[in-house]
Structure 1
């Protein structure tokens, strides 16, 4: 079980990016972790997980493209910030878990601090997006956009400074007892996620006639919880069973990606686009069920009747109605 403020019980099971920097002088090594491969003379760790990270970057790019194509959807500019932050988190994690940035490198603590800061900023951005549907500030306005941007930047900077001070044993923080960092990662981020979910349930129940978006919320939170359980409780068992080819980090990354995809699916299901002003990549095909003119009138008009137009007395009512 995960103990409050203790990274030892966590890092003994799963190779998180923070593990080489906390808990002991030389970090904490997991009991079992995915084997590495050699590519062009360079050892690459977690090869299967790296593939999932690359897939996550591709899928997130596709989701961002579809969000931007919904020109009139509510909260479009706000929610896209969340996906940009998730992309940055995924890219940094790819560099760190793969060993492209070695744990012995002097820059590893800085990249890890940035990774933790981005994770927290991503949860914070998701939380603020939970308030967009309540229209406390009109979506797409400078107030709405810059409040999210500036506050997310402040959260990132604060957590980056806290993480770096912990890793370098500065300002009273200690890598051997990183309780403050643990609280940020698991309490603060967890609370942000719970509040977001509650807000969206209230939004759906109070403002929408359709209840299907509740299914998207349920699937999203289920994927995330399952991924965390596998990551922290079954990683060693999975690693031993499959002979070190993969570990819990592989399944945790997959489940996190699925949860993020459900965030997109939920947002897409509750937003409607104004077709009059939309400029999508697909062209609308309009089917005419009935002609505007009767067959007799069309035939007579084609023969030159009425001088190519409608008789004013007979069709004046139709003209006004139209």
Structure 2
């Protein structure tokens, strides 16, 4: 079994993308320069490319692009089912997270696959937009972690516009810092991208940690059912596994697979599994309102009037003319 390629790989350093770019071909890597070589850091091992039209065009990361197409289709399916749950708590907020994930996948597909060539004059702007979408998607996820605590009624204009405007602000801030870093202006440098590193690496990690903590608190303090914690923790596990396979074991896996796939391929797969479990977690803690849905769990967020006993509720429904279920045609 081949040994991992680590001899030429840069060492990890806080504030530097050198190590990350040596493991995975992130879209922004071709726009940043190593402080030691003053040149972009290339992956020590990368997947084979596909030669299209006799060398006139190269398609990069074909296996990863295939997984991204599957991820996009799965995301559209999840969006469809979320939109079908008309009365579920936080439906409009959580669907925005999946929309943003889908747009990020599409942009990643264009940049990673070389459909927008790195030599293109617009590549840096699309890469900055991709970075902005990446960070703001994590922000959107964290906001959805707050929605369950009902700080304001979900689905209202206040909740939705707070989410939209705050997400847009995070996107614009990240985009601005990214493009200024790529262009080496306003005191930002592509050889020392500390500001971009904090926005791109540290902030998403913090947003994810806050989301997980909030959801654990929500389940423990609000719900009787503890099974949703399994979905949440498995989703976190798959996301972390994706980071490990892409940025820690990327070169090793690439060598084992003889360059047919690399760490980005596995990272994309495990990230998709993590996102799917975010949907599964949300679905497990919200009301089942589909017409043919069958579930053994109670509606844990359904509010009941504590001043009415069970006998009074049943009597009002069956015996009283004011009962919501009473109908003379029955």
Shorter-chain TM-score tier: 0.7 to 0.9
Residue in 2 aligned with 1:123? 138
Q: 1:27 aligns with which of 33, 37, 40?
A: 40
Shift of 1:23: 2.1
CA distance in 1, matches of 2:257, 2:266: 13
CA distance in 1, matches of 2:191, 2:123: 17
CA distance in 2, matches of 1:259, 1:23: 31
Residue in 2 aligned with 1:196? 211
1:283–1:147 distance in 2 versus 1, CA, 3 Å? closer
User: Which structure's CA Rg is the greater one?
Assistant: 1
- Per-residue displacement from partner, 1:118-169 (whole Å, max 9, x unpaired)? 0011000001000111000100110010100010011101110000000000
| Pairing 1:154-165 to 2, within 5 Å after superposition | 154-165=169-180
CA distance in 2, matches of 1:105, 1:62: 34
Q: 1:143 aligns with which of 146, 151, 158?
A: 158
8 Å CA contact 1:71–1:273 kept in 2: the answer is: no
Q: Extract unaligned runs of 5+ from structure 1.
A: 285-317
CA distance in 1, matches of 2:28, 2:22: 12
Shift of 1:283: 8.8
8 Å CA contact 1:37–1:43 kept in 2: the answer is: yes
Q: 2:68 aligns with which of 48, 53, 59?
A: 53
Residue in 2 aligned with 1:105? 120
Shift of 1:10: 1.4
1:36–1:319 distance in 2 versus 1, CA, 3 Å? closer
**What SS class does the counterpart of residue 51 from structure 2 fall into?**
strand
Q: Extract unaligned runs of 5+ from structure 2.
A: 1-10, 295-317
CA distance in 2, matches of 1:212, 1:222: 16
Structure having the larger proportion of residues in helix:
1
Shift of 1:38: 1.8
TM-score calculated relative to the size of structure 2: 0.83
Q: 1:177 aligns with which of 192, 198, 209?
A: 192
State the superposition RMSD in angstroms: 1.7
Residue in 1 aligned with 2:23? 13
TM-score calculated relative to the size of structure 1: 0.85
**What SS class does the counterpart of residue 168 from structure 2 fall into?**
helix
**What SS class does the counterpart of residue 43 from structure 1 fall into?**
strand
Q: 1:92 aligns with which of 88, 97, 107?
A: 107
Residue in 2 aligned with 1:4? 14
CA distance in 2, matches of 1:150, 1:201: 26
CA distance in 2, matches of 1:14, 1:37: 18
